Amino acid sequence: MKVRVRFFAAPREALGRGEIEQELPTGSTVGELMDLLTEEYPVLRSYASFINIAVNRKYATPEIELHEGDEVACVPPVGGG
Amino acid sequence: MYPLWEGDKTAGWRVDKHVTGKESVKLFEITTEKLSVDDVVARLANPAIGAVIVFVGVVRGNTEGREVRFLEYEAYPEMAEETLRQIGQEICARWKTIQEVAIVHRVGRLQVGEVSVVIALSAAHRPEVFDAVHYAIDRLKEIVPIWKKELWVNGAEWRSER
């Protein structure tokens, strides 16, 4: 299955793009997607420990299961205001 | 700007604060446009209100002794607007006196002195509005996916208070 992964702020700059489409096995979890991404894009490794993940615009935990077409976002520490 | 509801574009008064998504004005917005405090306050227009409290965030010219040239704000706009709405719902659930909440955050390049965020809360009476606006800005800094990059004369950094 495929999911859309969006990047913002520092990880977006490090990766050099704001979005990728990631192929992964059906039934994969958020945690498994992150492992896959850091393996494929080593530049993301330094951000992995403090990044939050959102699935379909809601904060998600690593054990959440992903589905075809989900919109996943890497959310580094926020700084609005 | 008074009376508040002059020029109201809605067909009728919004009497039910819990009916979200039906307003013809946007109460929670991420925008690249310059912010107007009056415009955000006007979104709360309702004859039932007796008090409005406004928090205005402004770009500061220095942090930790470094002179800021300008700021770049970036958002995940769809999720940011949803989390702003969530904050509005949390406030209305916790402080029954709060009638309505509007939060508008600007993104893109902002110069020193420009307004980055306007939070406006309306209530029938003034008690508790100060606590509620304090909660709103703290919660915004905690959960809303917006990022701030400070650009100085000799460098740049993404900043978070978390």
Question: What number is the ipTM of this complex?
Answer: 0.95
Contact B35, B102 (CB under 8 A): no
Say which amino acid occupies B79. Answer: M
In this structure, the number of other CB atoms found within 10 A of the CB of residue B2 comes to 5
Q: What is the pLDDT of residues A35-70, one digit of tens each?
A: 999 999 999 999 999 999 999 999 999 999 999 999
Instruction: Sort out which chain A residues have CB atoms less than 8 A from B114's CB and list them.
Output: none
State the smallest CA–CA distance between residue B11 and chain A in angstroms. Answer: 31
Domains of chain A: 2-75 (3.10.20.30)
Provide the pLDDT for residue B65: 85
Average pLDDT, chain A: 97
pLDDT given for residue B126 in this prediction: 83
Q: What is the pLDDT of residue A9?
A: 97
Instruction: Write out chain B residues lying below 8 Å of A77, CB-based.
Output: 160, 162
C-alpha pair distances (Å), B125 with each of A45, B20, B118, B121: 51, 22, 21, 11
The pLDDT assigned to B4 comes to 43
What residue spans of chain B are helical by DSSP H? 37-42, 77-94, 129-143
Taking the domain B36-155, which CATH number applies? 3.90.1170.40
Cα nearest neighbour of A13 on chain B: B158
Which of the 8 DSSP states describes residue B153?
T
Q: Does residue A57 belong to the interface with chain B, where contact is any CB pair within 8 Å? A: yes
Share of chain B above pLDDT 90, in %: 70
pLDDT number for residue B162: 67
Residues of chain B falling short of pLDDT 50: 1-23
Token output for B74? 């970036």
To the nearest whole Å, the CA of A78 is away from the closest chain B CA by 5
> Which secondary-structure segment (H or E) carries A35?
helix A30-40
The pLDDT of residue B3:
44
| Chain B touched by A56 (CB under 8 Å) | no
Nearest Cα residue to B105 out of B114, B118, B93, B92 = B118
User: CB burial class (10 A; 0-12, 13-18, 19+) of residue B39?
Assistant: middle
HSE (side-chain half, CA atoms, 13 Å) at B110: 30
